[in-house]
Structure 1
Amino acid sequence: MRSSLFYYLILPLVLLQICSNLATAGSTVRFLPGFEGPLPFELETGYIGVEESEDVQLFYYFVKSESIPETDPLVLWLSGGNCCTSFSGLAYQIGPIKFEEVLYNGTLPKLLLNPYSWTKLVSIIFVDLPVASGFSYARTAKASQSTVSQACNQAYEFLRKWLVDHPEFISSPVYIGGDSKAGIRVPIVTQLISDGNEVGIEPHIYLKGYILGNPVTTPGDGNYAIQFTHGMGLISDELYESLKLSCKGEYQNIDPSNALCLQNMQAYNQASNHFSASFVLLYFEKLVTIQLLSNINKAHILEPDCPYASPKPNNLFIGRRSTIQVFCEKTRELKIQELAAPFTCRMDGYRLVYHWANDESVQKALHVRKESIGEWIRCNCRYPYIRNIGNSLPYHANLSIRGYRSLIYSGDHDMIVPHFGTQAWIKSLNYSIIDDWRQWILQGQVAGYTRTYANKMTFATGGGHIAPEYKPAECQAMFERWISHQPL
């Protein structure tokens, strides 16, 4: 595995010059439209060119630690989703700013300070990756196409070049972090850095470990949604037992000849009207059943379900339009009334960023290049992005052997990446438990549950999908304790 990684991922990077003339340092941002007064933290934005001739230009937001930046850790943060901008991490999850919680009223949305920002503890680079996301852009048609492995290569090259431009951080302890679908990329990037250090690629990166929230990890993650819905009381015991017997644990790629499993899945979709539709698509020559929720919020089952915040659908399938794409487009054609009133659901907050990021004054303040300015969309796969790696479990195993620290946190009300699946792949690593399942407490209240393993991996629960959006205080406390080597 290590040999394969070196030749296909590391070797091409060695052939590139570490410091190209086109790579430039970023620009300081002291004021942001929508925020009153000068920023009380240090923000830098910029572009770093990667790949051949630096035809891929990656945009980043860098926030310096508000504590002791000279010695505090440095985190490279990769957002999840399908080609989602890292601004999601900056303004909705772990960064120092957030939008004022009012619905859009025709004026530029206001920004406030986030009291639970992780930048109070560490410096964070939020990078727009892959190339289609955020303000990153490609100079050629060839450069606009990428794969998961290419994006991981680009992240590693980006970090090396960024450190060359910022030599004061070369000795900083480095962690790679991300959430959701970044669960595939983060372990790969971490291993690329480790492999590069072993073969002497400069600059040497002081890699300490990685952080993942609600991470997509294996192709079987979705199978645990059935166990999750039963555990949360959304389906009956009888239906659950029948599903287990008939489907034998495989609920995603169902054998068309398994009539009883298909019948049970139909009952599951209709149970209590939790699911509005079931589509059977011919995908990679397999029948795939996709459930679309009608009145259950899969990101947090205790919160209200809301319409999509993005005005345009993601390119879920390259080539011909899929059934699910057409469905999503029709759903988004519904006009969502926006009044000057408190949020009715969490998705209302995501609508604000479109009005903010597409404003000319905002793009000027962020030093956005004209080449990358089109319509800004929070999650936008406008270029082909091939998911050629769909399982990151082998990378977790390799990183465990090498002794890197890891924090895996999982929202226990998340149905998108159920915690049952995350716990299952962690258990498959076969490491002994050194701190068994217990509560972890914040301000006298139970914040979640945790367990620590002999491979320096800590697992913790609490919140929904993208846990810091739902439990910001708890997640900041969790991260602070872990990053400072304290027990949760």
Structure 2
Amino acid sequence: MHFQRDAVVFLVVVVLLSSHNHAVEAARGLPVEFLPGFDGPLPFQLQTGYIGVGQNEEIQLFYYFIKSDSNPQEDPLILWITGGRTCSALRTICQQIGPLLVEPVKYNGSLPRLQPFPYSWTKVASIIFLDLPAGAGFSYATKFLENNDLLAASYAYEFLQKWLIDYPEFLSNPFYVGGHSYAGTTVPIITEMISNGIESGVKPLIQLQGYILGSPKTFPNQSNYNIPFAHGMGLITDQLYESIKENCQGDYTNTNSTSLHCQRDLQTYQQLIESINNKHILEPICLSGSDSTMASLIMLPGQKSLYHDLYTKLKTDPFLVSGLQCRDEWSKLSEYWANDYHVQMALHVRQGTKEKWQLCDESLPYNSIIYNTIPYHVNLSKKGYRSLIYSGDHEMIYPHLSTEAWIKSLNYSIIDDWRSWMVEGQVAGYTMAFANKMTFVTVKGGGHVAPDYRPFESQVMFERWISYENL
């Protein structure tokens, strides 16, 4: 870990020196007032643009900046990093915490429609949604460059410095870094780089207050907690769970164990969960579009009107209102929309820089080199920064048990013990707060990226925390 931290410090120095040598200044983003597929002018302030980073600005990072609906002069400013190593910020904007929603209907060949999303986090905060790393979303590089965790974080830090130079009116706003899933790796590193820059007097001075992480990737073998989670959810029997504990001796990811009993138990476990959706264990997995049984799993006859009433009254998951077969089909609509020429023109995308926009470009080269970010959390906690860590309680990618475990390992005193938090008289999840200014929250009924499944409750959670209110 000392090597990793030294590498971070070195990268910060390189970023700061190189940023002063750039001959090209970042250009302030351009306003977007209308978007194809959305009726009328946008009911919020959106700007998009590119900022060049790296040596000779060979990396051009694309961003969407959405001002707070409330008081952008004083409300918090957030740099948001989308989960997935090479995923675009667009899904975060149009399906999770942004002010737009891709209408969840079956694709018919025409341009997907957009509608206002009432549970956006931009109601109380201004958010910079960044396509990171180079090659993700509409970001691009003018020549082949390596991507890894430290480089991505350093480019994000350089981006932020240049962005604030272009938007000096936000220099006094409270600032946070946020993200979900794989951003559990990059967000703590970015936050520490900012903190180190502040301590070194690097300008512009950023008003860093803390960071926000949803279902974060944090440490190796995090999937060890999938088996206790599966047991607690009734997916495996007590007998199998006890046998796995005894035969595998706590390492449930070691499929090469010399113990034949361990291998047998893990094989049985895999067979039992192979048809479980690990993003949300109550949802069906995505099968082919021709599978006629999927529709019955999602939408029973007459169910649409019932869920429409629930959506209106209880702010439930908008996907349940749709006639789509699975959530991945909903995500695919973003690709149809973002690859439309008129959409790209409206977003001020530089033509010819991307052959095809992809939600997540798995072909991009990216090396994961930081496997444990707990030391970053420790360091940021010592410096007194706030943090909000939340998990959906029905996901099995990075289950809430794993997040609770690494938070517990920090060994900070509990100042608000495990209790339910309420929304409109209903239990919305459970929470615990610690002396290091860290708040852990579960979102009841949520999956991987809780706002995907419980947008209203997630918005309430965020608004209370960002406003220093008790959950």
> How high is the TM-score relative to the length of structure 1?
0.87
Distance in 2 (CA, whole Å) between partners of 1:472 and 1:202 is 36
Q: Structure 1, residues 37-72: CA drift from partner, whole Å, max 9, x if none? A: 000100000000000000000000000000000000
Partner of 1:353: 334
Q: Is the Cα–Cα contact under 8 Å of residues 133 and 381 in structure 1 kept in the other structure?
A: no
Return the match for 1:40 from 40, 43, 46. 43
The structure carrying a bigger helix percent of its residues is 2
Q: Structure 1, residues 454-479: CA drift from partner, whole Å, max 9, x if none? A: 00000000111000010000000000
Which one is further off, 368-377 or 84-93?
368-377
Residue 11 (structure 1) shift = 1.2
Correspondence 1:114 to 2:117: yes
Residue 253 (structure 1) shift = 2.9
Partner of 1:424: 405
1:54-69 maps to which residues of 2 (within 5 A)?
A: 54-69=57-72
Distance in 2 (CA, whole Å) between partners of 1:335 and 1:360 is 30
Partner of 2:319: none
The residue matched to 1:72 in structure 2 has which SS?
coil
Return the match for 1:457 from 438, 441, 446. 438
Return the match for 1:11 from 10, 13, 19. 13
- Structure 1's unaligned 5+ residue stretches are 276-293, 308-331
Q: Structure 1, residues 214-255: CA drift from partner, whole Å, max 9, x if none? A: 001001211100011000000000000000111111122344
Partner of 1:473: 456
The residue matched to 1:17 in structure 2 has which SS?
helix
The residue matched to 1:246 in structure 2 has which SS?
helix
Q: Is the Cα–Cα contact under 8 Å of residues 9 and 193 in structure 2 kept in the other structure?
A: no
One-letter amino acid of the structure 1 residue matched with residue 17 of structure 2: L
Correspondence 1:306 to 2:286: yes
Partner of 2:376: 395
1:34-113 maps to which residues of 2 (within 5 A)?
A: 34-113=37-116
Which one is further off, 344-353 or 243-252?
344-353
Distance in 2 (CA, whole Å) between partners of 1:78 and 1:335 is 35
Residue 4 (structure 1) shift = 1.2
Which one is further off, 367-376 or 58-67?
367-376
Q: Structure 1, residues 177-212: CA drift from partner, whole Å, max 9, x if none? A: 000010011111000000011011111110000000
The residue matched to 1:385 in structure 2 has which SS?
coil
The residue matched to 1:15 in structure 2 has which SS?
helix
Distance in 2 (CA, whole Å) between partners of 1:442 and 1:344 is 29
1:399-418 maps to which residues of 2 (within 5 A)?
A: 399-418=380-399
1:427-442 maps to which residues of 2 (within 5 A)?
A: 427-442=408-423
Partner of 2:28: 25
Correspondence 1:241 to 2:224: no
Residue 270 (structure 1) shift = 2.2
Partner of 1:126: 129
1:374-393 maps to which residues of 2 (within 5 A)?
A: 374-393=355-374
One-letter amino acid of the structure 1 residue matched with residue 6 of structure 2: S
When residues 3 and 242 of structure 1 are mapped into structure 2, their CA distance, relative to the original with a 3 A threshold, is closer
Aligned residue-pair number: 439
1:158-177 maps to which residues of 2 (within 5 A)?
A: 158-177=159-178
Partner of 1:139: 142
Q: Is the Cα–Cα contact under 8 Å of residues 91 and 334 in structure 2 kept in the other structure?
A: no
- Structure 2's unaligned 5+ residue stretches are 296-321
Which one is further off, 18-27 or 76-85?
18-27
When residues 381 and 255 of structure 1 are mapped into structure 2, their CA distance, relative to the original with a 3 A threshold, is closer
Which one is further off, 345-354 or 188-197?
345-354
Partner of 1:183: 184
- Identity, % of aligned positions: 53
Partner of 1:262: 263
Partner of 2:217: 216
Distance in 1 (CA, whole Å) between partners of 2:359 and 2:419 is 37
Which one is further off, 253-262 or 72-81?
253-262
